Structure 1
């Protein structure tokens, strides 16, 4: 087969594939901005606009649903600077449905872009009221698939 004709066949086949299928087939491991990620037993959706980032619940685990978390509930909002995320996260409680505690988090994106690990310190609440204790939360988001 002529090389030019072969290129035309490859180009025609590529048009039939979903967006990103070729780069995925060629081994690109970078996760896409509108993608699904696993986090602590829940399925999350990553949204991006420029360097702004949001992780929203796509399918929250049952205990979170009991705390008022639904599809589309915001868990993290912030920015990506190079391979670093920073912003605010929320912790949800059955004792305080609809009143998440907001705290600062930051952390790296793994070199292959398929995992984000952020941590931050927050007050430990009891029945919606702060105690004298502080804890460090670590949030790990692992790429799952294109949503």
Structure 2
């Protein structure tokens, strides 16, 4: 009996998904997936610059929630010098157009083949802008 209840829960959760949409972010095509209030921006077609940083289709740039016209969650920095993405907290607004603008403060890193990926003690403010292209 439990198998049916769990399966029904997954089907119900999946049915709340709205069609994905596509957004431009710094020359990369992003996929916005939403499930209820949850939001995920992932790379659909990374720009050449992001590909050289190791980003591949499906890599997640932002995951979080939408509350009204605001997003809250975690963004990631990608670098060819780091073995993993570097997470930091962001928040922002949904604007007409539509456009989503997220900002957050994150550690700055010394990068390079001989430095690896080492925090340098400095902080940096990032702004991520997503501009709507189309829906699936």
TM score, norm. by length of structure 1: 0.74
* Deviation (angstroms), 1:39: 0.4
Equivalences for 1:63-102 in 2 at 5 Å? 63-96=49-82, 98-102=83-87
* Deviation (angstroms), 1:40: 0.9
- 1:54 and 2:43 matched: no
Q: 1:72-127 CA distances to partner (integer Å, 9 max, x unpaired)?
A: 1100000000000010000101111x4111000000111x3610000000010113
Structure 1 stretches lacking a partner, 5+ long: 1-31
- Give the match's secondary structure for 1:38: strand
Contact 1:33 1:46 in 2 (8 A): no
Higher strand share: 2
Q: Which has the larger radius of gyration?
A: 1
* Deviation (angstroms), 1:68: 1.5
The whole-number CA distance in structure 1 between the counterparts of 2:101 and 2:49 is: 22
TM score, norm. by length of structure 2: 0.80
* Deviation (angstroms), 1:41: 1.1
Question: Which residue of structure 2 lines up, in the alignment, with residue 41 of structure 1?
Answer: 27
Match of residue 116, structure 1, among 96, 100, 105? 100
Coordinate RMSD, CA, aligned: 1.3
- 1:142 and 2:131 matched: yes
Q: Give structure 1 regions of 4+ aligned residues with deviation exceeding 6 angstroms.
A: none
Contact 1:56 1:75 in 2 (8 A): yes
- Give the match's secondary structure for 1:63: helix
